[in-house]
Amino acid sequence: MARVPTGISGFDELIEGGFIENDVILLTGGPGAGKSTFGSQYLYAGIMNYNEPGVYVTFEETPARIMRNMWRHGWDMERLIKENKLRIIRVDPIAYDRYIMRSMETGQQGDHENATLETVLKQIYASVTEIDAKRLFIDSLTSLKISPDPVHVRHIVLEFIKNIESFDCTTLITSEINKDPENFSVEEYLAEGVICLKVFRIDGERIRSLEILKMRGVKHDEVLRPYVISDKGIIVYSDHSVIGKEADVFSLQRCSILGEED
Ligand SMILES: Nc1ncnc2c1ncn2[C@@H]1O[C@H](COP(=O)(O)OP(=O)(O)OP(=O)(O)O)[C@@H](O)[C@H]1O
Ligand SMILES: [Mg+2]
């Protein structure tokens, strides 16, 4: 099976070298956890290290803001767009929202919702074929789940992931953190893999940690690993555990020092 290395320092060794080609992987996490950084780094490394063009789909942030934030890590996304190696497409969440609301008012849910979803998917596919993208990053799926009806939401998510799977791209999709750990969301079942970014405090110290919840067909790591967001992007400490068998509490200070040395 061909593997797609993410290029994220310390991460690929946790999943036997990379994602399985053409899989759809979910990346979950709360605000500021580093989801957009992870995805941008995945696309950037794909272009720079593996010569694989990528498409970034944003529902919330504007492309200008994404480029500005990523510039902070030294990633010149503007140049890659000019070189036709990268596309950043923005799906207008307000227009999408309006469609859903209107469809609910008129009671014609299916038609309007499908029209919108179809438009979004066509827009993504056009960019994928335009630059022959191999990597796709979608930020975030939560933006699509705006209907109050859970059956409706399930239908949207199913339809979206099913279509994305046919794009011949290895896809990373973000999803906001699942507040109810007892009830997993539909996308967590549907995706081939789920990576969770968790931020919590131990003794007043802020700890960022990553867990691979699942990765079908992969003998993946099962330990909670610390990571940092540095000037060079995300660095995962694959040899350390946050709370391991030996209750090895990782020091964030140490992470910062290691990050600077890299
Ligand atoms: N150069 C840097 N060095 C250290 N930390 C940084 C740096 N740049 C950004 N960060 C951290 O990364 C966080 C933002 O990460 P990112 O935007 O990827 O999170 P996110 O999970 O996408 O958040 P949201 O859910 O709000 O979209 C900032 O809040 C900050 O803590
Ligand atoms: Mg984000």
Per-residue pLDDT tens for 125-147?
999 999 999 999 999 999 888 78
Average pLDDT over residues 91-120: 67
Average pLDDT over residues 53-65: 95
Atom 26 of ligand 1: nearest residue by CA position: 31
Q: What is the pLDDT of residues 149-162, one digit of tens each?
A: 888 889 999 999 99
Ligand 1: residue of 28, 65, 209, 229 to mutate (most ligand atoms within 8 A of CB) is 229
Q: 206 in ligand 1 pocket by Cβ < 6 Å?
A: no
| Token representation of residue 164 | 């994305």
Ligand nearest to the CA of 31: 1
Q: 29 in ligand 1 pocket by Cβ < 6 Å?
A: yes
Q: How many CA atoms lie within 13 A of 252 on its CB side?
A: 14
Average pLDDT over residues 41-50: 98
**Using CA atoms in the order 64, 65, 67, 72, what is the torsion angle rounded to 10 degrees?**
150
CB atoms within 10 A of CB 181: 7
User: 3-196, which class in CATH?
Assistant: alpha beta
Q: What pLDDT was estimated at residue 149?
A: 86
Q: 208 in ligand 1 pocket by Cβ < 6 Å?
A: no
Ligand 1 centroid to residue 67 C-alpha, Å:
13
Q: Where is 193: in which H helix or E strand?
A: strand 193-202
Is the separation of the CB atoms in 2 and 21 below 8 Å?
yes
Q: 31 in ligand 1 pocket by Cβ < 6 Å?
A: yes
Mean pLDDT of the chain: 87
Is the separation of the CB atoms in 8 and 17 below 8 Å?
no
Q: 37 in ligand 1 pocket by Cβ < 6 Å?
A: yes
Q: From CA 226, how far away is CA 172, in angstroms rounded? A: 20
Q: What pLDDT was estimated at residue 114?
A: 59
Using CA atoms, how far residue 5 sits from 45, 108, 187, in Å, is 9, 43, 23
Ligand 1 centroid to residue 33 C-alpha, Å:
6
pLDDT for 92 beyond 80: no
Domain ranges of the chain: 3-196
Ligand nearest to the CA of 73: 1
pLDDT for 167 beyond 80: yes
Ligand 1 centroid to residue 34 C-alpha, Å:
5
